[in-house]
Amino acid sequence: MPAGKTVRTVAVHLLPDLVEPPQLAGKTAVVIDVLRATTTVVHALANGAREVLPFLNVDDARAKAKLIGAGVLLGGERGGLRIEGFQLGNSPAEYSEQVVGGKTVIFTTTNGTRAMQRCKLAKRVLLASFVNLSAVCRELADESEIDIVCAGTDGHVTREDTLLAGAIVDDLSRLTGLEFKTNDQADIAADAWRSAVGDLTGTSPLGQALRASRGGRNLIDIGHENDIDLAAQIDQFDLVAELDLTSWRITAK
């Protein structure tokens, strides 16, 4: 590390419950829900959605849509499936330019939204997925205190989120050429990433790893296997998605 530099830290939390909101105060948080919330949000913004407004509760999402009125789409899932009366589910493929271009998307998923709420005291909150991995890492390169929060699924650690967390830890070190002070979960995630998909040259090894993950198995069970391949398209988009903590809106940066 160059002399005079402050120590830079990157911590991983394998579940939202493994970090208390005050621990994130003033830090840069990165929320991960690979299958599928953060992947879908990046697709929506990359395809021209004006903004994505995340809601934990279906009724609150409906009420907000009614309040805004025109130009709004309701998207999200419960149990992996589209919610009654919603125009969109939680498949990245549904969020095409034709559908979401210029629109506000009101979006509700359980695990991803909960992870975002856990970051309410952070300085800023980015959303990461494999489809915007390098863009996120570039954005993080100037940040000195980074906390990556994995959404998991219903309180269970998931391998898909852990692998992306590990990929970010790994890429950050390479990109900046700096050493980061890590917590053990960051080391475990980076180890897991290197071992699982190591010297990745295509997306196939990642797709295989994601199929075997908890989230991947769930998607196969409900007939959404195609979404796994979409989530495995590393760097498909050069876009940073950021949640504004005051307005609670996610926009492309």
Per CB under 8 A, residues contacting its own copies are 14-15, 18, 156-159, 162, 183-185, 187-189, 191-196, 212-214
Least distance from C-beta 130 to its own copies, angstroms? 17
Containing 32, the helix (H) or strand (E) segment is strand 28-32
Q: Which is nearer to its own copies, 172 or 243 (CB)?
A: 172
Distance between CA atoms of residues 42 and 52, nearest Å: 10
> Within 102-176, where are the H helices?
110-118, 133-140, 159-176
Distance between CA atoms of residues 243 and 36, nearest Å: 17
Q: Which is nearer to its own copies, 115 or 189 (CB)?
A: 189
Check if the beta carbon of residue 116 is closer than 8 Å to that of residue 21: no
Q: Which is nearer to its own copies, 191 or 244 (CB)?
A: 191
Q: Which is nearer to its own copies, 48 or 205 (CB)?
A: 205
Distance between CA atoms of residues 227 and 213, nearest Å: 13
Least distance from C-beta 165 to its own copies, angstroms? 10
Let me know if 13 is exposed, middle or buried by CB neighbors in 10 A (0-12, 13-18, 19+): buried
Least distance from C-beta 161 to its own copies, angstroms? 9
Containing 194, the helix (H) or strand (E) segment is helix 184-197
Check if the beta carbon of residue 75 is closer than 8 Å to that of residue 41: no
Least distance from C-beta 107 to its own copies, angstroms? 25
Least distance from C-beta 214 to its own copies, angstroms? 5
Least distance from C-beta 5 to its own copies, angstroms? 21
Check if the beta carbon of residue 1 is closer than 8 Å to that of residue 175: no
What DSSP designation does 17 have?
G
Q: Which is nearer to its own copies, 18 or 239 (CB)?
A: 18
Q: Which of 132, 158, 121 is nearest to 45 (CA)?
A: 132
Given the DSSP bridges, would you call strands 72-78 and 104-108 parallel, antiparallel or unpaired? parallel
Least distance from C-beta 51 to its own copies, angstroms? 32
Q: Which is nearer to its own copies, 99 or 178 (CB)?
A: 178
Half-sphere exposure of 2 (CA within 13 A, CB side): 5
Q: Which is nearer to its own copies, 144 or 183 (CB)?
A: 183
